[in-house]
Each structure stands twice: as structure tokens, then as C-alpha cells.
Structure 1
Amino acid sequence: MPSEAPSLQVIGLSASYGDVPAVTDVSLEVRRGEIVTMIGANGAGKSTIIKCICGLLKPVAGTVKLFGEDLRGLTPDRLVKKGLSVVPEGRRLFGKMTLKENLELGAYTRNDPAAVRRDMDRVLTDFPELRDRLSTIAGTFSGGQQQMVAVARAMMSNPRVMMLDEPTIGLAPVVVDRISDLLLKIAKSGVDILVVEQNAEVALSMADRGYILEGGRVIAEDDAKSLSESEEVQKAYLGI
């Protein structure tokens, strides 16, 4: 069972783009041993929260803590060194570089070559589809394979907390299942996970807890089973 001490904590977060509010007074947390999901339609504020957490957008108000440490003022590369990794929406691979080069870039903040080599081997064991394709140009992979590369690259930083922004969008159902299985395996290895998803059914099937966002605010939070059984959630997000 996860402990109550949060590994990632967002407290009273508000953010805007110019004069347009995007997120208002959002609080959430990821506890040790958890997969937590944020669910909401396009424009609900999910990706804005991810940007604020990883230092790409300065919030108007609120605090983000990683293992109790305030992250204000820290640049994204500093956050990676502290154990936070991100799989961005759209994957954002270096499409003209090889798979191996993309994975090596995931470890760019590390200075322990032997450990990086061990992690490379571990990642390729977890992603056997990629093992024999290290010299393949990343941009030639299928969408599902590219998503696997993006997750593998994030793992190369040796994270303690991983955030994923829409990891299953645009993927075939069989690939969605594969990505879900990989995330469950990663979580069992000791990495706490925050997943942003429009696909509520997939998100709630793998998560321990969930937050539902609407109009930049958290309108519901509960364990994943309770949310998936909620009549309101079923009508709004599960098509039931």
C-alpha cells in the first residue's frame, strides 16, 4: 500500500496565458507507490499543470514540491537531476537521430557511464521491441514505437517520479494496452507516476487514484475504482 507522504505535491496552483486564466487553485498529490491520473477534456488545464510542475511555465500562484522540496525557480534540467522526468505530449523525439542517440540524450544530466550502460540494458529488456533497432532513425518508427522510445528515454534519467502527457493519444488499442502494461511495470519498479489522459477508461484502469479537471479546476478526486463507478464520470467521460 502506498504511504501517505507525497512524492509530488501541487498546492493551490493557478496559472494563465497572458490575461487568460488556464488553471485555478489546483491541488493534487502523488504518493509513494502510486499511479495517479488527471482526466479532462481538451482545454481543462491538464497540460498546463504539467508545464508548471516541470518548470516550463511560471505559475501565478501556488507551490509545487518534489519529496517535500519547493521547486520554485528550478530549471527543467535541475528537476531531472532531482528525479523528475517527463514524457511530453507528441513524444518530441529527435527524429533525425538514432534510437540509441535518443536514449543517450535521456541520460544527459548523469555522469556515471557504467550506471547509464546498465540502465540502457534494463530499458531494452523492458522494451524488447527496441533492442535490435538501436541504429534505426527514430523518425522512421511507427507511432506506437515512438511512444515506447519516449517512455524509454524518460527512464534513462533514472527517475523517481515520471509524468506522462497523453501517452496513448492516437494509438491503436493493442498499443494502448502495451503502454499501459509498461507503465504498471515501471510503477512496480519504484517510480511514482502522474498520467494526463483524455482516455478516461484507460487512465482509470491503470491508476490508483484520479483527479477530474474541468475549466481549469479540480471538480472531483477519488480512488480510481470509485471514479470509474461514478454515474457522473461514466456519462461525461466513459460514454456509458
Structure 2
Amino acid sequence: MTVRVVLADDQTVARAGFRALLDLTDDLVVAEAADGARAVEAVRTTRPDVVLTDIRMPGVDGLEATRRIAGDRSLDGVRVVMLTTYQVGAYVFEALRHGAAGFLLKDIEPDDLRAAIRTVAEGRGLLDPAVTRRVIEEFARLKAPEAAGAERLAVLTGREREVMAPVAAGLSNEEIGKRLIMSPLTAKTHVSRTMTKLGVRDRVPLVVLAYETGLVRPGEH
């Protein structure tokens, strides 16, 4: 399986390093960009499977680029992965809120990078549920549940709300099925319907919403 990738980073050396790693596999780097605006343009032109983008770039940064890509319905099949040198930061949380499929540390091991790209290309949200969850929980502790966010959950059935909790814990459809005594297919159906009703593309926004609305609290899985 060849995964088409757009690399966005204002540092030429960083882009060259990631490209060198991907050139050793069947993955194909279809475009590079030095800022967010060019990254969005490249995505609209090349329609990649995955975008690897730095968060901090001049002009349009990675957060805004992610927001624009995630907000463009014609780019629904494109998944954005944020690259960062920090494990915890407000900008990482905002990246997830803006529609990123997850994030990776820039010093990631080559094999892990390639596995992560394939994970995201296959439409499986979080790259590292444990690490990503720690980031979400850290910022969930700093803010009270949002009433406006809670109202968004009113469109869900009781079962769909129930499914959101194990999703927030990073469980797979099979694991959700075992916890809630249903088949993996039924779990997948509930998760898909939940995403459709809430207008999100993958599991990451569901995790963010679960914490923001108080449906799931830090440490409660």
C-alpha cells in the first residue's frame, strides 16, 4: 500500500530528514511546503492520504492549516498529523480540537513513523492513545465542562453516549464490544453514527468532546 504524503515544515533540514525516511519505503512524498498556506494549497492540488505538519511555522501555522483542511468537506479523506518537539502543550490540544488525527514527536523512531502514517491513512484516529490521552486529560483538568459542548451531545442516544467513554479510553471496536457486550460490528456502527451526528471525521474529536463536556473525566475510563 502506497501512502501519499505532504510534508510541511519551515525547516528545510527537517523536511529532508522526514523525506529521506519515507523514501526508504513505498510511501510517496507528493509535495513539500514551508508554511501552512502552501501546505493547504499542496493538499488541494495533490490530494494526499496524510499530511505531516509542524505546528509552529511562519504566517499560517500548522494549527490554522489543520483547521482549513479539516473544514474542507472536499478533503474528507485527508488526515493531518502534527509534528512537535514537545509532549504536552496547549497548542497540541488545540491541534486535536482543530481536527488533527493525532501528533508525533519529531524524534520518533523511523519504524514508528512509518507505522503511524499507515495507521492514520487507514482512518484509525489516534496514533498513540496513551500519550494523546495524557495531553487531553492535562487540559481537561484546567477547564470546566462546556455547557455549549454538552448541548451537542443531546442528539445522541444513550447507547451512543455510552460508546463515547471507551472511545475516549482509546479502545478498539472489538474492545468496546467486549466492554459493552455487543459485537465489534455493532460497536463500529454506534461509533460511526456518533461521528456522523456530531459532524466529526474520526475518533479524535470524539475524545476531545468527551472530556470537554464532562461525559468522561480525567482518570475515569
TM over 0.5: no
Higher helix share: 2
TM range (shorter): 0.3 to 0.5
Higher strand share: 1
TM-score, structure 1 length as denominator?
A: 0.32
